[in-house]
């Protein structure tokens, strides 16, 4: 490595970024031990964010220096293999590194503290999730158990096979249009600003408020999924692991009427991984063109669960589905130029659903959590009243 390359690497090592990751372990993870591991290593490396630790694996998002996150990944892989007594190749840790946005200050795009929680599941597909027993001391922890009424706990069906972003692209472009359907496993506030849009292939938008509503969406969509090749996706891939397993379980149950899905696929690494290859960087609402722009099958922005709110890698912004709920003008920024930490978002005054409201309309309404003023009407998710946006059954939408 020459001097110039060394300088570049040193700069890259110090850059603050976001790491998004999950892992389902082939054997039960020792949750008390791994809880201590995560707390200790993140503190030592000055990494902040959120991590879920369960007997079936981990799910997390962290912010910190690039070099510290890479070191964390290396140590984490070894720890997972040692904990599960598996060969390294058997631990499928899905790790994605994400850049910060250029239109916001760095310090308000990173996490301010660390939260490591012991949970029953990597993601909670079924509510209510019974919380693990309370800790009586730092080192005394009871191993969490799967909820036995979870339909996929004893299911013989496995999560759907993964397609890499390039395989996903090739499949959708060459797919027989009458045989395919896209299934968005995310919530309504996520799909409101971006989703996969492929000509002649319908996209089923779950339009839920929470992940645990997704099973009811699939049950009410059997007629649309029957006999189809189902292409399922979410933000980073973790939700599709269990959602695709549930869909396969549902298709083999007495509830299913009609032909079973031909195949069920999931996008490896989710939208995040796809946009790394087919998306393009943006600054605010302006996208920088690249050679893959016309190839990209994702329209709009990728909603993320960290202080950035949206990732700087975007799809076709010209086709972004976002619009102001009041005046219907094109709009896809929940924070109207601010950061999530600034608390400028708009929510329904009744159901608290996150809503898109343009800057002009924002000045003339009163959202949830704001002091009421006589000259400003309340903001609702409906035209003039709350319609409980994101109700799992009533808000199924196909585009």
Measured between alpha carbons, how far is 72 from 66 in angstroms, rounded to an integer? Answer: 10
DSSP-based three-state secondary structure for 80: helix
Measured between alpha carbons, how far is 209 from 207 in angstroms, rounded to an integer? Answer: 7
Q: Which residue has tokens 């779950």?
A: 206
CA angle centred on 230, ends 218 and 192, rounded to 5°: 65
Longest pairwise C-alpha distance within the chain: 67
Which tokens belong to 335? 């924070």
Measured between alpha carbons, how far is 274 from 313 in angstroms, rounded to an integer? Answer: 10
Measured between alpha carbons, how far is 270 from 96 in angstroms, rounded to an integer? Answer: 10
Out of 23, 84, 234, 324, the active site residue is 234
Task: Give the residue from 208, 266, 246, 233 showing the smallest Cα distance to 393.
Answer: 208
Task: Give the residue from 74, 97, 90, 118 showing the smallest Cα distance to 25.
Answer: 90
Question: Which 8-state DSSP code applies to residue 323?
Answer: B
What backbone torsions phi and psi does residue 217 show, to the nearest 5 degrees? -65, -45
Number of H helices, E strands in the chain: 10, 18
Q: What is the dihedral of CA 365, 367, 370, 376, to 10 degrees?
A: 20
The question of whether 234 is a catalytic residue gets the answer yes
Which tokens belong to 206? 């779950």
Beta strand 194-196 with 286-287: parallel, antiparallel or unpaired?
unpaired
Residues annotated as catalytic are: 234
């Amino acid at each position: 490595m020459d001097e110039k390359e060394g300088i570049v690497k040193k700069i890259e090592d110090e850059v603050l970024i976001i790491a998004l990751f999950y892992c389902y372990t082939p054997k039960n993870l020792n949750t008390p031990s791994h809880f201590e591991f995560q707390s200790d290593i993140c503190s030592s490396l000055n990494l902040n964010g959120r991590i879920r630790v369960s007997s079936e694996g981990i799910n997390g998002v962290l912010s910190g220096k690039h070099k510290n996150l890479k070191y964390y990944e290396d140590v984490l892989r070894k720890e997972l293999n040692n904990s599960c007594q598996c060969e390294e190749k058997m631990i499928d840790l899905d790790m994605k590194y994400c850049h910060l946005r250029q239109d916001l200050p760095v310090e308000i795009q990173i996490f301010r503290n660390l939260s490591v929680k012991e949970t029953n599941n990597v993601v909670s597909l079924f509510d209510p999730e019974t919380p693990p027993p309370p800790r009586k001391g730092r080192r005394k922890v009871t191993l969490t158990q799967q909820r036995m009424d979870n339909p996929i706990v004893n299911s013989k069906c496995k999560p759907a096979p993964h397609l890499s972003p390039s395989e996903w692209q090739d499949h959708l472009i060459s797919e027989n249009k009458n045989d395919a359907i896209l299934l968005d496993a995310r919530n309504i506030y996520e799909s409101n600003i971006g989703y996969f849009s492929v000509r002649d292939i319908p996209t089923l938008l779950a339009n839920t408020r929470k992940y645990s509503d997704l099973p009811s969406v699939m049950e009410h969509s059997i007629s649309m999924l029957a006999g189809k090749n189902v292409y399922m996706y979410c933000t980073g891939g973790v939700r599709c692991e269990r959602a695709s397993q549930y869909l396969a379980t549902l298709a083999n149950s007495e509830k299913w009427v009609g032909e079973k899905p031909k195949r069920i696929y999931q996008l490896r690494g989710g939208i995040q991984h796809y946009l790394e290859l087919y998306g393009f960087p943006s600054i605010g609402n302006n996208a920088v063109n690249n050679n893959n722009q016309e190839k990209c099958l994702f329209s709009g922005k990728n909603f993320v669960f960290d202080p950035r709110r949206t990732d700087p890698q975007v799809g076709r912004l010209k086709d972004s589905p976002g619009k102001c709920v009041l005046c219907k003008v094109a709009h896809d920024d929940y924070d109207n130029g601010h950061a999530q930490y600034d608390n400028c978002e708009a929510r329904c005054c009744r159901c608290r659903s996150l809503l898109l409201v343009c800057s002009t309309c924002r000045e003339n309404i009163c959202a949830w959590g704001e002091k009421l003023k006589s000259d400003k009407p309340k903001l609702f998710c409906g035209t003039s009243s709350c319609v409980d946006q994101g109700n799992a059954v009533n808000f199924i939408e196909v585009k």
